[in-house]
Structure 1
Amino acid sequence: MPNRPAHRHAPRTASEQFRRTSFGRIALLCLFLCLLLQPAGPALAERPCLTVGVERIDYPPYGSFRQGGYEGFARDLLDSFGIEHGYTMVYVALPVKRLYQEFLDTRTLDLKFPDCEEWNRSKRKGIKIFYSVPVCEYTDGILVKPENLGKGMEAIKTLGVIAGLKPWLLVPPVDKDAMKVSENVSVSGLLGKGIRDRVDGVYTNLMVASHLLEERGYKDKLVFDPDLPHATGHYHLSTIDHPLILREFDEFMKTRTELVDSIRRKHGIDR
């Protein structure tokens, strides 16, 4: 298993001690899962374990944490990469804020997905992070009720967002002092707020919103307003300590296009 950097300073407060103890428990849990999931016998030493930090939210078709397990496009893709290169992939699902802490601060995770260097730039400052080739494209935008389509940002007094995410990267930028932000830990919860008029708009991934609305029988209850600010980019796999593994992943994405495309088609994700 890849080495983890040691902490540089001893805890100074009780709260810091608690946080670091919690981080240590996660690291021990990851180690236990690695040993549990690896095959017995000589193959054990040949299959290093990689911990992949993922978001503990329902985010179909990209990746969802459901019934205690991680599933979706990202799981199938990364599992296929792991099998081909002899890695055991262990998925550590965490709330968005905690995920950034584990990946950037305490370094208990080998990889993170999804990631993008444009997200939370202030937290990344001074840290050398390596990013893979683009894995898939995304569009984040604002969904409103059909009757509010075309009314502009002036009609968005309260915007619903996932806890830990900020909509200030929209193009053109949103004036964060001109409206309130209502956070929720799940996209489904945000969509429910939009349907029940508890927020004026919902900022989220459009494909995820479409999947969840149709899944719950609320198709067309909320619609994307293309005239409102939105953001388009690519999801990447990222790492701090393992650039060589990322290079292997890039090669996998370039040379195993038929396999990758079949996984895309399975989950309805276009190239």
Structure 2
Amino acid sequence: MPNHPARRPPERNAALCRLWILTTALIAVCLLTPLCAGPVHAEPVELTVGVERIDYPPYGSFRQGDYEGYARDLLDSFAIEYGYTMVYVPLPVKRLYQEFLETGTLDLKFPDSPDWQQTRRKGLHIAYSAPACSYTDGILVRPENLGKGMGAIRTLGILAGFKPWLLNPPIDPKTIKVSENASISGLLGKGLVGRVDGVYANVEAARHLLSAMGRPDQLVLDPGLPHMTGYYRLSTIKRPLVMREFDRFLKTRSALVDSLRRKHGLDR
């Protein structure tokens, strides 16, 4: 039987073969890409985040003009994955509410809660994230006054812009004199020297700052006094899609979020 040389496929068939191989490869890449990956933007989309201009470790603090802490690490991690650039806008608490709820100059606010400033939120379509971390607010007293009850609290120190009336059981503002301070460190200082009978503050932030001041355990939470536990959330009026993406991030990157909480001592 004569030997015939092998036939070469026509050029058209070769082109179709290459097209088939390329298409198959693209499909494989798409199938291997995680479904939870964020959108790819041609350039990072800038988001303004309103944050409280107070030293509030481990949640958020300012060191030499730079915002740092758990909130910064969490939001930056989300931004990297979803193609955003976070621009942190530090504002006093009262002005932060104004810029976010009334002026509308901010894309996002952290921390936030639907329980805060409820009257000012009426009629606004605010989207809140799933919990980013938990918190406990309560009244800290000097150890020798622990367990004496609300009758021993004549003057209560609070941060300017914060209201202690959400505590449980509620505090009657008519029976308690309030002394405001612009910084939590200054507020704790008043409590340490007895200028106020109790300090209304976030327990974890107070613990961090007292340790930094070299005065650990010289103000302690009195569990018998009104207190409240809740969750810090991210919120938005202008960017509901971002809020859905952030919720997806919290869920799909739970191991990363847990590691950030441990890093900043918020896993207790």
Structures share fold, TM-score greater than 0.5: yes
Indicate which of 46, 51, 72 corresponds to 1:49. Answer: 46
Q: Contact (CA 8 Å) 2:261, 2:267: kept in 1 or not? A: yes
Q: 1:158 aligns with which of 152, 155, 159?
A: 155
In structure 1, C-alpha distance between the alignment counterparts of 2:201 and 2:144, rounded to whole Å:
19
Check the 8 A contact 2:54/2:92 in 1, yes or no: yes
Query: 2:81 aligned with 1:84, yes or no?
Result: yes
Which SS does the other structure have where 2:81 is aligned? Answer: helix
Query: Residue deviations 1:127-169, cap 9 Å, x none?
Result: 1110000111100000001111111111111100010011000
Q: Measure the CA separation in 1 of the matches of 2:78 and 2:164.
A: 32
**Other-structure match for 2:120:** 123
- Find out whether 1:206 has 2:203 as its counterpart: yes
For residues 163-219 of structure 1, the C-alpha deviation after alignment (integer angstroms, 9 at most, x for no partner) is 001100000000100011011111101100000111000000000000000111001
**Cα offset, 1:264, TM superposition:** 1.1
Q: Residue 178 of structure 2: which of 177, 181, 200 is its match?
A: 181
Indicate the structure (1 or 2) with the bigger Cα radius of gyration.
Answer: 2
User: 1:221: how far off?
Assistant: 1.0
Does structure 1 residue 145 correspond to structure 2 residue 142? yes
Instruction: Please tell me the root mean square deviation across aligned C-alpha atoms, in Å.
Output: 1.2
- Within-5 A mapping of 1:1-271: 45-270=42-267
Runs of 4+ in 1 over 3 A off after TM superposition: none
Give structure 1 stretches of 5+ with no counterpart: 1-42
1:137 counterpart SS class: strand
Structure 2 gap ranges (5+):
1-39
Scaled by the length of structure 2, what TM-score is found? 0.84
Segment drifting more, 233-242 vs 261-270: 261-270
CA contact (8 A) 2:52 2:96 kept: yes
Provide the secondary structure at the position in 2 that maps to 1:58: coil
> SS of the counterpart of 1:65?
strand
The corresponding residue for 2:14 is none
- Report sequence identity in percent: 70
Q: How many residues align?
A: 229
Q: How many angstroms does 1:75 deviate by?
A: 0.1
Alpha-carbon distance change, 44 to 255 in structure 1, aligned in 2, over 3 angstroms: closer
Displacement of 1:45 in angstroms is 4.9
| 8 A contact 2:41–2:83 mirrored in 1 | no
When the two structures are superposed, what TM-score results if normalisation uses the length of structure 1? 0.83
